[in-house]
A and B are shown apart, each in its own frame.
Chain A
Amino acid sequence: MSELRDPAHRVSPRALTLWHLTAAIEAAFTGIAAGVAIAIWGPDAVRWWLAGVPLLLLALAAAVVPQWRYRVHRWEVSATAVYTQRGWWARERRIAPMSRVQTVDFAQGPLARLFGLATVTVTTASAAGPLQIEGLDKDVALALIDELTRKADLVAGDAT
């Protein structure tokens, strides 16, 4: 019996910090918006319940989801294929043969740049979703792009 194992590499541990930060910012914004709405329209008797429960859930999500995501997000590049795994509640594994890789894209958001992180996106000719590796260390990402470009170049054909 054999099963599909996880890809070999984790993303950078700094990604965990970044995800915690963005999740906290998002939770704070949603929390403030919800709080204001409840303060204005909420009935007095249940106001604290109405405000407290969502805030607790938001805080919990901001604390737990990035951890969970960090455990799931993994990647691996072999001689013939790219293999990624992402998500948290729903885990998605994507495998594309090197011969079908069309473009390799490197992207850095403003916050990610602050943390020295980058996202590598590998696209094939399919419209059904590219392979994306978020939260890679910038140097690792650049090396990965080099490697992918070299390997994809070795294969002839139009990748459809």
Chain B
Amino acid sequence: MSDAWERLDPRMLLIHPVREVGKFLPVLIGLVVAGGVSGAGPWALLGVVAPVALGVVRYLTTTYRVTDGRVELRRGLLQRHALSTPVDRVRTVDLTASPIHRILGLATVVIGTGGVVSDADERLELDALPREQATTLRVHLLGSRQAPATDGEHGAPIDEVEQVVARFSPRWLWYAPFSGTALVAMAGLIGAAAQFSEIFRINLSEEDFAAVDGTFVLGVVAVVAALGVILAVAGYLVTNGGFLLSRHGATWHVRRGLLTRRETSIDVPRLAGIRFGEPALLRLARGRRVSAIVTGLDSSQASSAVLLPPAPAATAYDVARAVLADPAPITGPLLPHGRTATTRRYTRALMGATPFVVLLALLVVGGASAGVLLVAVVPFGLALALATDRARSLGHAHLADHVVMRSGSVVRSRAALGDSHVIGWNMRATWFQRRAGLVTVAATTAGGGGRIEVYDVPELAALALADAATPGLISQFHEEVR
């Protein structure tokens, strides 16, 4: 890269004004309406010129360069911003391209340094560069640290070979309704309907309620469910259409998005582990999802760490195998947490169900027919099913140099964290847990949510796990007991 300050692509002169006009639209409409009333032409003209001028100013004042191992960016006319960061601090380079960008062959480059950026002004964002230039810049920023790797047999740099691990298939859309977004969409629809009736003052009278019969209720439920499913599938398609996971030398590339295309890169040394998502609904549909635990990428940037959206289980296992180089952390057997931990799952679930049952009992006392008590079967049944699944899911292991933890039911996930990325241990136990000889174990790391955690591990098993992953760290604080 040269030392000279470079400008963004001149084609941005086309994009910026269009966007600015978009932002100015309310003002423009106001001006046109006002102009129509008073017949003042020049003001309407200003409404068009101002956004275009802003776009030009933005183009002229934004410059960047990569020099002396630093990335520097200057922008702003009145409020000048000069951003600078060392190249070896760069943790992620994301390329995004909106439909307009894609038509013009441009891509926006967002350079991430792993720090907490509160203000959009402080983001290292180059909007936008020609596609090839953006790709070259990414390789330059991410590739400068690692020596070019060669594969033994042919002596050719591995970088040349792009190895595709997973590619979008329309079949994946089947998993969209099971991913939880469908439920969110349904909740949203119900909320919107409530708002709507509020706005239009639709008042429901007693007769209206009397007219409601079983068919009507079923019809409403069916319509809401269908709309929720459609929204979920559409959302999935827009976010994940064209998904491609591939490995390029020592870097993983994730590309996705039907309209706005987004490309994320994760270099292998920073890939601390993976989280294998197995929520209950997705398990029913035989689907799984995979995300990466990336050093320097916290949970607020979770969308940058997606390795596979909800997809067939077989594909997810392939991805896990490719990313971890060994399938054991995901497929290997886990150590169960024993009877006390299982009992705790049942007590907790049943305690959760108790308030509903008490409520029903109060209704009966208050004069309702005793048949109402039969409804209590529902919360109890749900609680038992939940507890059974939670107890079955609970487990941990040390497999192929990875700490592996699995817990949960409705949102069950199995996390595998490489030993070298474990930067500490948190062991938490309430008074009840201490009495049961159990402890909640968290292996901390510099990425993801900061840790992977599993509850109710028998104390000795917890120490064995920590000893296996970080030899000598915990054992110095051991004490012999009879």
Binding site for B on A (CB under 8 A): 1-5, 7, 76, 78, 80-81, 83, 87, 89-97, 100, 124-129, 131, 159-160
Contacts and interface: CB of A to CB of B under 8 A. Distances in A.
Contact of B479 (A5, A80, A81): A5
Nearest to A81: B473
Interface string B414-440: 000000000111111111001000000
B423 A96 contact: yes
Contacts of B296: 160
B446 A160 contact: yes
Interface of B: 295-296, 298-299, 423-431, 434, 442, 444-446, 449-451, 459-460, 463, 466, 470, 472-482
Contact of B423 (A1, A76, A89, A125): A125
A112 to B, nearest CB: 25
B481 A2 contact: yes
A95 B459 contact: no
13 contacts: A2-B480, A4-B478, A76-B477, A78-B477, A80-B472, A81-B477, A91-B430, A91-B434, A93-B426, A97-B470, A100-B424, A126-B424, A160-B446
A91 B434 CA distance: 9
Q: Which 3 A-B pairs have the closest CB atoms?
A: A127-B450, A128-B450, A125-B446
A5 B478 CA distance: 6
Nearest to A127: B450
B429 A80 contact: no
Contacts of B430: 89-91
Nearest to B430: A90
B446 A5 contact: no
Contacts of A5: 477-479
A7 to B, nearest CB: 7
Given A3-B463, A4-B459, A91-B434, A128 B477 contact: no
Contacts of B427: 4, 92-95
B91 to A, nearest CB: 10
Contacts of B425: 93-96
Contacts of A97: 423-424, 470, 473
A110 to B, nearest CB: 29
Contact of B449 (A76, A128, A159): A128
A3 B444 contact: no
A126 B448 CA distance: 9
A126 B423 contact: yes
A78 B446 CA distance: 22
Given A78-B476, A127-B449, A128-B449, A94 B424 contact: yes
B304 to A, nearest CB: 15
A2 B444 CA distance: 23
Given A92-B429, A127-B450, 6 more contacts: A91-B429, A94-B424, A125-B446, A126-B446, A129-B426, A160-B446
